[in-house]
Structure 1
Amino acid sequence: MKILIIHTAFIGDIVLSTPLIQKLKDLYPKSEIDYLTLPTNQSILYNNPNLNEVILYDKKGKDKGIKGFLKVLKILKQKKYDYAVIPHRFIKSILLAKLAKIPDIVGFDVATGSSLLDKKVHYDMKKHEVERLLNLVGYEGKKIPVRIYPAKENFIKIEKMLKISGYTGKKEQKLILVAPGSQRPEKMWPIEKYREVIERLKKNNNYFIGITGSKVEKELSLNFENDKNVIDFRGEISLVEFGALISIADVVVGNDSSPIHIASGFEKPFVIGIFGPGKRSLGFFPWTEKSNVIEDNEFYENNIVTIPKKQHKYKKDYYKGISLISTDRVYEEIIKRI
């Protein structure tokens, strides 16, 4: 059996789909599972033993427009898939599967173009996103963790980088990872507040603070060049190497973005998310019991900020209260969890 997953959303969404990959392999152990996604998401799926192939669709780059769509469609037609699972809730993903003549296509009832699906699954807003994705294959059983798969060389690189800064993993040493960025700037807690928290943490010589993020996020003003116990990993490591780093961290703190979801897949760290109001109720909180979400609900409950009624207006107005979350609140949560 040949199975195709189509998901061309953000990195965090791909991370949350890894339990779906695992469950599909459990259900169809002899199947070949391919995954169609964006080039920026490729490293999340690197080394995943349950995948046969990752097919890249650069829909915002070289595959933009109808020419790129047809190029990818041709690849899918040649593969002759038996079954397609589409977490992505947009018509283009469904059209790819339909035009590739995949005989059995499942997706969500809220997706644009859902009438083209062979099976529509209810998108239950009361559930976590991982649970919703697992519902696509009819699973509602024991919790399946999110997973990425760092290789041995990834761990070796991270250990070398930490050792240079004096972190050797001694019991009294604590590794705190701070992920200040996001692909959506409106989700970000103010960078000056992250700076203040780091300034307070670095006063303890046994606390090693790793600032993580992409090369682009290096532009965020968080430079601590003369502080040996503050390590800037931004733009220096891949996402799968970031996974290796997370596996030895004590605490990971960040915005509602992919680092928080990646951290949920590892046993050691306590995960602290700084989220918009009620985001937990929308199903995008960390998928681990060792976590806490700092939300700004009280600012909305007291009408300091008003939540828009229409979901598509959330992008700016929905997150206005994040900047009101105090540094004391975040700092104290980190200290509590170390």
Structure 2
Amino acid sequence: MKILVIHTAFIGDIVLSTPLIQRLKDMYPESEIDYLTLPSNQSVISNNPNLNEILLYDKKGKDKGVKGFLRVLKILKQKKYDYAVIPHRFIKSILLAKLAKIPNIVGFDVATGSFLLNKKVHYDMKKHEVERLLDLVEYKGEKIPIRIYPVKENFIKIDKILKNHGYFGNERQKLILVAPGSQRAEKMWPIEKYRKVIERLKKNKNYFIGITGSKVEKELPLNFENDKNVIDFRGKINLVEFGALISRADIVVGNDSSPIHIASGFEKPFIIGIFGPGKRSLGFFPWTEKSNVIEDNEFYENNIVKIPERQHKYRKDYYKGIPLIDVDRVYDEIIKHI
């Protein structure tokens, strides 16, 4: 069987789909599973042993418009897939599968173009996004973890950078990763507050603080060049290397964005999510019990198993919560789990 997953969303969404990939391979061990996504998402699912091929659809770049759509469609037609699973909830993704004449196409009932699907699955807002994606294949079993697959070279590169800054991973030393950015600016806790947290943490010379992010996020004003125990990784490592870095970390703290989802794929770090407009009740909180979410200056422990009684509604003041979260709350939470 030849299976195609189509998901051209943000990096965090792709990370959350890795349990779905695993489940598809478990269900159809002899199948070939291909994954169609954006070029910017490629590295985070590279080396995944369950994938046969990663296909790229640069819909915001060279594949923008009808010409690019037809280029991708031609490739999909040639592949002659038997089955398409579409987590992406937009008609263009469904239309690609339909026009490629894939006989069995499953997606969500809330998707635009859902009328083109052979099978529509209810998108349950009360569930975590990973659980919703697994609903596409009717999975109700034990939790399937998120998985990212760094290779030996990734670990070698990360360990070299850490050792050059004096971090050797002994029991006294602690590695704290701070991910201050997001592709959506309204989800970002104020940079000045991140700065204050780092200023307080770096006073302890056994704490090594890694600032992570893309080249674009290098522009965020967090400059600590003169501090030996603050390491700026922004723009210097790719997403799989970031996974290798996370595997060495004790704490990962960041916004409602891809770093906390990637961190959910590794056993060691404790994850602290700072949530504003995303609202953990929308189902995109860390997929691990070693995590806490700070939201609107409230706090939900072990949020994978404990659902708060009061759910936040999607309302006009949706974007106002995250600046209200104070520095003490985040700093104290880091120290608590260090």
Which residue in 2 is equivalent to 1:303? none
1:101 & 1:297 partners in 2: Cα distance? 50
1:20 Cα deviation after fit? 0.2
Query: Counterpart in 2 of 1:11?
Result: 11
Mapping for residues 130-141 of structure 1, pairs under 5 Å: 130-141=130-141
Cα distance between partner residues in 1 of 2:188 and 2:15:
19
- The amino acid of 2:292's aligned partner reads N
Please give the residue correspondences for 1:227-306 in structure 2 after superposition, counting only pairs within 5 Å.
227-276=227-276, 279-296=279-296
Give me the whole-angstrom Cα distance separating, in 2, the residues matched to 1:148 and 1:281: 25
Partner of 2:273: helix, strand, or coil? strand
Distance 1:98 1:307 in 2: 35
Residue 277 of structure 1 contacts residue 295 of structure 1 at CA under 8 Å; is this kept in 2? no
Is the Cα–Cα contact under 8 Å of residues 155 and 244 in structure 2 kept in the other structure?
yes
What per-residue deviation string (whole Å, max 9, x for no partner) do you get for residues 38-66 of structure 1?
00000011100000000000000000000
CA contact (8 A) 1:278 1:297 kept: no
Give 1:308 deviation, angstroms: 5.1
After the TM superposition, which parts of structure 1 deviate over 4 Å for at least 4 consecutive aligned residues? none
For 1:200, the equivalent position in structure 2 comes to 200
1:113 corresponding residue in structure 2: 113
Q: Which residue in 2 is equivalent to 1:34?
A: 34
Identity of aligned residues (%): 86
Alpha-carbon distance between aligned partners in 2 of 1:6 and 1:277, rounded to the nearest angstrom: 26
Give 1:146 deviation, angstroms: 0.6
Q: Does 1:225 align with 2:220?
A: no
Residue 236 of structure 1 and its aligned partner are, at CA, apart by: 0.4
- Per the alignment, do residues 3 and 17 of structure 1 end up closer, same or farther by CA in structure 2, a change over 3 Å counting? same
Give the corresponding residue for 2:190.
190
Query: Hey, what's the Cα distance between the residues in 1 that align with 2:134 and 2:141?
Result: 9
* Unmatched segments (≥5 aa) in structure 2: 299-311
Quote the offset at 1:319 in angstroms: 2.3
TM-score (norm 1): 0.94
Pairwise CA distance, 1:297 = 6.4
CA contact (8 A) 1:86 1:93 kept: yes
The code of the aligned residue for 1:135 comes to D
The superposition leaves residues 5-58 of structure 1 with CA deviations (integer Å, 9 ceiling, x where unpaired) of 000000000000000000000000000000000000000111000000000000
**Whole-Å separation in 1 of the counterparts to 2:26 and 2:140:** 14
Distance 1:72 1:122 in 2: 28
Corresponding residue for 1:301? none
Q: List gaps (5 residues or longer) in structure 1.
A: 299-305
Aligned residues, how many? 325
Distance 1:106 1:44 in 2: 24
Counterpart of 2:207, as a letter, is Y
Measure how far apart 1:318 and its partner are: 1.6
Counterpart code for 2:76: L
Q: TM-score, normalised by structure 2?
A: 0.94
Report the counterpart of residue 162 of structure 1 in structure 2. 162
Q: CA RMSD in A?
A: 1.2
